[in-house]
């Protein structure tokens, strides 16, 4: 099939564009959304991202004359990715969309909706994975001290903030995982927490004495003053007694980071990177760090070795007389 040139369409990234697709395409997207939600148990954000990417791909296929998934071809997928690059999409975005296409076409073939998988040979540019800045050890300590200074009055919110920052840095858990913790997820005797990560995968993560002390103070002197009828088992509570919102945690981290002289402006995810980097610098092996962080792939954890290597190189260049 000859492929006419394709003009960019406004709203390529708009999920509502699914309404403009042929009925057969819309029906398949509906089935796929259910698959992502019920079988793969992805978050609402991940499902929305998948559907948005695939809506763009199917709209591109429709403009090329495809009105049946059975006629979907590898070159159509390649044409779509090329269009994304021509529209100025980043390598990371294009790589993500290529992955979305491959997973989708594999599902189509596996469920018998197409005779063969057209995306099996679809390649994509390697995404540039750039980690955000991380704190030095002294900066991380200053961050927690800044929170402790604000908690000197023994206020429930102050005690909570110290516990939140200590636990984020001690464990490297994601902000969503932190906010999803229940009181029963904390084992103060063994100094571990039970974390429900991506894909509802459960893991156990240890924490140290400073985080243990902060948690005990929060549970004994802070949480009882904020707990309400609607608090449920939530470990961390907001000012009105509900489960702490991730946005409030991000605001807290940025606010306290601003009080640390010279520290980069990072959020909770930056603290996660900081924890991983300090673990590796302290001699932890990659497999252990992978398990602690809940990474599905060791390749993701290996990114932190670049951070530690860069630091080592800078230290060498500054200190060695023949660097």
Domain boundary among 235, 265, 295: 265
Is 306 a known active-site residue? no
Is 272 a known active-site residue? yes
259 with 221, same domain: the answer is yes
Q: Is pLDDT at 266 greater than 70 in this prediction?
A: yes
Paired residues of 187 in beta bridges: 192
Which residue out of 78, 145, 191, 198 is catalytically annotated? 198
Is residue 191 assigned to a domain?
A: yes
Is residue 161 assigned to a domain?
A: yes
* CB distance 140 to 169 below 8 Å: yes
Mean per-residue pLDDT, 186-197: 90
Q: What is the pLDDT of residue 28?
A: 92
* CB distance 97 to 91 below 8 Å: no
154 with 257, same domain: the answer is yes
Is residue 3 assigned to a domain?
A: no
**Winning range, highest mean pLDDT, from 42-46, 238-242, 296-300:** 238-242
Is residue 170 assigned to a domain?
A: yes
pLDDT tens for 46-67 read 899 999 999 999 999 999 988 8
53 with 99, same domain: the answer is yes
Is residue 172 assigned to a domain?
A: yes
Q: Is pLDDT at 286 greater than 60 in this prediction?
A: yes
Q: Give the separation between CA 210 and CA 220, rounded to whole angstroms.
A: 15
92 with 183, same domain: the answer is no
Is 174 a known active-site residue? yes
Is residue 272 assigned to a domain?
A: no
User: What's the pTM?
Assistant: 0.61
215 with 261, same domain: the answer is yes
Closest CA to 234 of 194, 178, 169: 178
In CATH, what number is assigned to the domain containing residue 222? 1.10.443.10
Going by pLDDT thresholds of 50, 70 and 90, the confidence category of residue 299 is low
Least confident segment among 5-14, 25-34, 64-73, 167-176: 5-14
81 with 159, same domain: the answer is no
Q: In the predicted model, what is the mean pLDDT of the chain?
A: 85
**Winning range, highest mean pLDDT, from 33-37, 132-136, 233-237, 260-264:** 233-237
Q: Is pLDDT at 7 greater than 80 in this prediction?
A: no
- The total domain count for the chain is 2
Residue 215: other Cβ atoms inside 10 A? 26
Is 269 a known active-site residue? yes
100 with 174, same domain: the answer is no
> Domain range holding 192?
137-265
Which residue out of 97, 160, 174, 278 is catalytically annotated? 174
Q: What is the pLDDT of residue 55?
A: 93
Is residue 215 assigned to a domain?
A: yes
90 with 154, same domain: the answer is no
Mean per-residue pLDDT, 105-112: 94
């Amino acid at each position: 099939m000859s492929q006419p040139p394709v003009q960019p369409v406004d709203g390529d990234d708009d999920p509502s564009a699914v309404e403009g697709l042929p009925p057969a395409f819309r029906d398949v997207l509906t089935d796929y959304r259910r698959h992502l939600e019920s079988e793969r148990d992805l978050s609402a954000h991940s499902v929305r991202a998948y559907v948005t990417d695939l809506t763009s791909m199917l709209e591109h296929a429709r403009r090329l004359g495809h009105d049946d998934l059975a006629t979907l071809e590898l070159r159509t997928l390649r044409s779509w990715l090329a269009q994304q690059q021509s529209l100025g999409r980043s390598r990371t975005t294009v790589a993500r969309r290529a992955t979305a296409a491959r997973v989708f076409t594999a599902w189509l073939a596996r469920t018998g909706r197409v005779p063969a998988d057209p995306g099996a040979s679809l390649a994509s540019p390697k995404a540039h994975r750039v980690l955000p800045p991380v704190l030095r050890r002294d900066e991380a300590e200053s961050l927690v001290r800044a929170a402790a200074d604000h908690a000197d009055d023994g206020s429930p919110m102050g005690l909570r903030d110290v516990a939140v920052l200590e636990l984020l840095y001690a464990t490297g858990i994601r902000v969503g995982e932190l906010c999803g913790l229940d009181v029963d997820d904390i084992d103060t005797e063994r100094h571990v927490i039970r974390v429900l990560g991506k894909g509802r995968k459960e893991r156990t993560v240890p924490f140290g004495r400073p985080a243990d002390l902060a948690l005990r103070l929060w549970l004994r002197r802070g949480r009882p003053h904020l707990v309400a009828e609607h608090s449920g088992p939530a470990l961390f509570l907001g000012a009105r007694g509900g489960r702490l919102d991730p946005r409030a945690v991000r605001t807290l981290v940025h606010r306290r980071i601003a009080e640390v002289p010279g520290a980069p402006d990072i959020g909770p995810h930056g603290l996660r990177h900081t924890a991983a980097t300090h673990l590796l610098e302290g001699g932890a092996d990659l497999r252990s760090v992978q398990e602690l962080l809940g990474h599905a792939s060791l390749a993701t954890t290996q990114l932190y070795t670049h951070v530690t290597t860069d630091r080592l190189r800078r230290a060498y260049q500054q200190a060695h007389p023949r660097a």
